[in-house]
Amino acid sequence: MLLHSETTIRGKKKSLARVTLVACYNAIGTKKAHIRMIGKAKELACIVGNSWPLPYLAQRNALIDISRFNKWFDQVFVRFVCSRSNYNVLLILHNASGHAEAFERDVIKVIFFPTNVPS
């Protein structure tokens, strides 16, 4: 008796692995703020016991939300701007649900691209 097993693959599952990198550069690309990484896991397996070059934040869907954006803005962006410039700064963001509404703080003005304009 010959046993034969046949498996059909109907499609591929979508990968659930996802990270978001938060990066910010000046208009000509000569200065950059520290990059942050947002992932799903509370702690990445590759980080445990090792030094990791990027600050890591955990978020259930690995996307930036308003609280993570505000944390990045206060801890990274404001320090970056204040340490390098006394001029007025314009931060232009894509129109995503994870960002707050347009606002101004000291010398920093935050605005968004229009809704149907790609970043």
- Model pLDDT for residues 31-75, shown as the tens digit of each residue: 888 888 888 888 777 777 777 788 888 888 878 888 888 888 888
Res. 2 pLDDT band, cuts 50 70 90: very low
**In this structure, is residue 113 part of a structural domain?**
no
Q: Over the chain, what is the mean pLDDT? A: 78
Cα–Cα–Cα angle for 21, 108, 56, nearest 5°? 20
Buried b (16+ CB within 10 A) or exposed e, 15-37: eeeeebebebeeeeeeeebbebb
Radius of gyration of the chain (CA): 20
Beta pairing partners, 33: none
**In this structure, is residue 42 part of a structural domain?**
yes
Res. 98 pLDDT band, cuts 50 70 90: low
**In this structure, is residue 10 part of a structural domain?**
no
What count of residues does the chain have? 119
**In this structure, is residue 65 part of a structural domain?**
yes
When divided into structural domains, the chain yields a total of: 1
What pTM was estimated for this model as a whole?
Answer: 0.68
**In this structure, is residue 51 part of a structural domain?**
yes
Torsion from C-alpha of 92, 32, 100, 54, nearest 10 degrees: 150
**In this structure, is residue 110 part of a structural domain?**
no
Range of the domain at 52: 19-85
**In this structure, is residue 49 part of a structural domain?**
yes
Looking at residue 109, what is its pLDDT?
Answer: 92
